[in-house]
Structure 1
Amino acid sequence: MKNISFRQLKALLAIEASGKVVEAAKVLGLTAPAVTLQLKQAEAEAGVQLFERSAHGMRPTEAGRAVLAAARDIGERLRLLDIEIDAFKGLRRGRIAIGAVSTVRYFAEPMLAAFAEAFPDVDCDFIIDRYAETIDRLKNRTIDIALVGRPPRSLSVRATTFGEHFLVAVAAPTHPLSRRRGIAKADIAGEHFILRGAGSGIRLFFDRFIGDAAVRAGATTTEMESVEDIKRAVMADFGLAFLAAHSVAGEVQDGRLVILDVAGLPIRRQWFAISRADRVLTPVMRAFQDFLTKQGASFLPDAPLH
């Protein structure tokens, strides 16, 4: 594969993305025969078939997927090189893609606004999703940095802490437990809980905290993906919830929710900014991590704990 060209690799990536030579040619600004020639030359260099035609278009073979993975790695390295060269020129510009778990939305706006003010020539893509999907994006290199409540075990990452958050149980003010103090875990184990889905980091900590007590008590749960939907259900006294304290700060202050005084709660956690350990930190990534280390905690809302 020593003689394969970057132009051929770009053609392969375009074919994969579109599934058709004709569509790939449009993206590349070439003719379809020219793209077909690039494919044939790449296959001749590899000595194996890289794509096969199917009813659904061009599909990469197993060998083709290996070549495409290498093509993406080469493209990513060249992108980083371009950023590094700009840094040597003294340019403070670039692009960064940041992924975050859903509870980051409660402090993301002022944090990103402050970063944009400090680095006005940096374009920032910001994606909020569940924990599992955010980690998948980091694995697939579609984001540069992830803001999460715990580093993953399935991926080698470098992690920087930038603040604390607390996990609490909440109820409607009319719920009988809202007026009790020193509630035992067993006393809430049989309550109906409205929870995030299994892919949520908060759900993982709830399952660890409640453990077998919920099974013994025959507890029931309802799953909702939106924190806002969960809060509305709890305010309607549909059940209890387990959430980040900063995500319910407004409702607690207004008297629409109550943080329960449960033994073992709140659970104290750290916020982490993580990136792949096998990636070279670009100047923009380094600038964002430094920004979080120095200023990140100042954007975290005060979390009510009782």
Structure 2
Amino acid sequence: MPKPEAVTLKQLRALQAVSEHGSITAAAEANRLTPPAVHTQLRQLETNFNARLVERGPQGVARLTRQGEAVLVGARAIETALEASAEHVRAINEGMEGMVTLGVVSTAKYFAPRLVAGLQRAHPSVDVLLRVGSRETIVGALASVSVDLAIMGRPPRVPEVQATVLGPHPHVLIARANHPLAGRGRLTAEAILSEGFVVREEGSGTRILLERFLERLGRGRPARMLEMESNETVKQAVMAGLGVALISRHTVAEELAAGRLVELDAQALPLVRQWFLVHRSDTALSAAGRRIHADIVARQGAFLPG
């Protein structure tokens, strides 16, 4: 009975060399072996297949039997598969293939899909998975290493990360189109503080920025706040006349352009922060992760709304 599990690459390559060069001596020279070494490999291969694979003729000529030709087909298939595997491994090692999970805070969801689409076009063999969540969710994902890279407005202290600036992140004060403060020019602190504010949940980057803005503006004066769970509900609440809001300009670009919302003018506005691309300092990025990281940075914020 044939014993294919005992077959080695050396034996198969000896058979291939004989087929290509026509003799054991020429096969030995091509493989930088001695003729007895090639002869030994062939004998072992014939034993493993329980068949005569090579016929030897006059003047040292050798040719494959029908059984030998059948084994040669398998040998070539194995070589092809190994070459394909080696190419696949090389592509992975060089970051040409792989999977990268990109986490973004909810405010970035307005531009992140366009960014990911551009990355997929540039790197079709790298799967870039997009994960959108609150700041707390994305920081937790970094801590659990369930995302490779993250885009956010303020790098966390824990876990420790390496952060790269991507571009400006302006925050503006918005109101409904027919709000009494719309079009009044530079607003006073009193005019702003007399309004109710539609805000995000505690701990969100936008909420923290608003609280710091109001603290500077009102010197501790309390403000009326109505909390909403997402940027979309904040926008809808402002358009419904429930108050004004400090929000990322990148989340309201369409509404401002369409005139459904207006940007109010006040000293120190817009508040310009930065978008950061972060990854854990203590966890090495894969080759694909490094390639995607480099591509995002090289775009120099071109994917951010104008």
Aligned partner of 2:79 in structure 1 is: none
What's 2:69 paired with? none
Find 2:160's aligned residue among 156, 159, 170. 156
1:268 aligns with 2:269: no
Q: 1:90 and 1:240, CA in 2 relative to 1: closer, same or farther beyond 3 A?
A: closer
Q: Aligned to 1:134, which of 123, 133, 138?
A: 138
2:150 and 2:259 map into 1 onto residues whose CA distance is 33
Aligned to 2:176: 172
1:112 aligns with 2:112: no
After superposition, the C-alpha distances for 1:143-179 in whole angstroms (9 at most, x for unaligned) are 1111001111232111111111100110012211112
Which runs of 5 or more structure 1 residues have no equivalent in the other structure?
A: 1-83
Q: CA deviation at 1:250?
A: 1.0
In the alignment, does 2:104 pair up with 1:103?
Answer: no
Deviations 1:102-142 (A, max 9, x none): 11111112211110011111122211111111111101111
CA shift for structure 1 position 91: 6.1
Could you tell me how far apart the structure 2 residues matched to 1:187 and 1:269 are? 24
Aligned to 2:96: 92
Structure 1 residues 289 and 88: CA distance shift in structure 2, 3 A: closer
Post-superposition offset of 1:244: 0.5
Residue 135 of structure 2 aligns with an amino acid whose one-letter code is: Y
Output the amino acid matched with 1:123: D
Q: Residue 252 of structure 2 aligns to a residue in which SS?
A: helix
Contact map agreement 1:132 1:199 (CA 8 A) in 2: yes
Alpha-carbon separation, structure 1, partners of 2:207 and 2:189: 16
Once residues 279 and 216 of structure 1 are traced to their aligned partners in structure 2, the CA distance between those partners, rounded to angstroms, is 42
- Measured after TM superposition, the shift of residue 192 of structure 1 is 0.6
2:95·2:286 contact (CA, 8 Å) conserved in 1? no
After TM superposition, the runs of 4+ consecutive aligned structure 1 residues lying more than 6 A away are none
Q: How does 1:100-249 map to 2 (within 5 A)?
A: 100-211=104-215, 217-249=221-253
Instruction: Give the partner amino acid of 2:252.
Output: V
Task: State the partner residue of 1:14.
Answer: none
In structure 2, what residue type is equivalent to 1:104? A
CA distance in 2, matches of 1:219, 1:90: 54
TM-score, scaled relative to structure 2:
0.67
Structure 1 residue identity aligned to 2:107? T
Indicate the larger mover: 87-96 or 101-110: 87-96
Matched residue of 1:97: which SS?
Answer: strand
In 2, Cα distance between equivalents of 1:279 and 1:204: 29
Letter in 2 for 1:142: S
SS at match of 2:111: helix
2:279 is the counterpart of 1:279 = no
**Could you tell me how far apart the structure 1 residues matched to 2:118 and 2:95 are?**
19
Q: Percent identity at matched positions?
A: 36
1:91 & 1:102 partners in 2: Cα distance?
A: 28
Q: Deviations over 1:258-287 (max 9, x none)?
A: 100011110111111100000112111111
Change (3 A) 1:125 1:193: same
CA distance in 1, matches of 2:157, 2:279: 13
The answer as to whether partners of 2:95 and 2:288 remain within 8 angstroms in 1 is no
RMSD: 2.0
CA distance in 2, matches of 1:133, 1:235: 28
Cross-structure match for 2:294 = 290
Q: What TM-score, normalized by structure 1, do the two folds share?
A: 0.67
Q: Distance in 1 between matches of 2:283 and 2:220?
A: 46
Q: Give secondary structure in 1 for the equivalent of 2:266.
A: coil
Residues 149 and 277, structure 2, Cα contact 8 Å, conserved in 1: yes
> Which residue pairs with 2:263 in the alignment?
259
Q: 1:101 deviation in Å?
A: 0.6
Amino acid at match of 1:219: A
Offset from partner CA, 1:62-105 (integer Å, 9 cap, x none) = xxxxxxxxxxxxxxxxxxxxxx9655755611111111111111
Aligned to 1:297, what secondary structure does the other structure show? coil
Count of residues in Structure 1 that have an aligned counterpart in Structure 2: 219
Aligned equivalents of 1:213, 1:165: Cα separation in 2: 21
Q: 1:146 to 1:238 in 2, by over 3 A?
A: same
Rg larger for: 2
